[in-house]
Structure 1
Amino acid sequence: MAIAQVLLVDDEKPFVDTMIKRLTKREMDVTPAYDGNEALAKLKENPRIEVVILDVKMPGMDGIETLGEIKKGYPLVEVIMLTGHATVESAIEGMKKGAFDYLMKPCDIELLVSKVTEAGIKKRHHEEKIIEAQMREITTRRT
């Protein structure tokens, strides 16, 4: 089983192709998307995605706007913002909208893998807590 189910969103195809190879070698199951709208469509069709690696600067719907839409529709999915054009303002905006972390391109692959792993663990932990709460609710209704 893969360490994490990842959606990689970036408009630069060569970057996406390279990252898929590097992350797949590290036992991650990676789905590509090349813009915000495609990312939302892929999330809708694959409920197993746990972590989104999301470029900030993209044509059309940018990363910050895409992050907002992801958090609206899939609040438990963790998002790591990735950019070659980092500004303090965009980092703060991303964190306010619920980004798990914010990394500069090019980032060290081991650092990215570590962040994706942490984000996947956090998502699974939240899901477990929700299931536990639902089970408690069911068992208290029966008594």
Structure 2
Amino acid sequence: MRKSKLQAANLEGNADDVEAAFYDALQNADIEKLMACWADEDDIVCIHPGGPRVVGAVAIRATFEAMFANGSIRAWPQQVRKTVSVASAVHNLLEKVEVLTPEGPRHAWVIATNVYHRTAQGWRLVAHHASPGTASEIQEVSGTPSVLH
């Protein structure tokens, strides 16, 4: 028996599984798998680094299709901070993105927040907000003391 795209995207688990499927879809330029990660709601939102707010599945799909026309997006989630409740999860993370330059591949940083809701279809992405980062931003500012007394 062949698995459906939904099962192949491993979307029957938790928000972590959906996030892994989302980044796998980016790295493989798989628009169907990527869109399967999103909730089936009118007000889902995606903001790409430096871009406008994109609302709704049709518009979000179009932006990723345009990006995939140039190839896959080599992005890896790092330093994930999570807040999870019964029906929602918020992941704030750094994306390490491979960028091709004339000198060869280099890494850039993007600061992203992914918001997941538990829906009738399981955990799904409802918002992805990414902002350009800098090398200094891979260092984290936190209210947690670095030295214990």
TM-score (norm 1): 0.28
Structure with bigger strand share is 2
TM-score (norm 2): 0.28
Structure with bigger helix share is 1
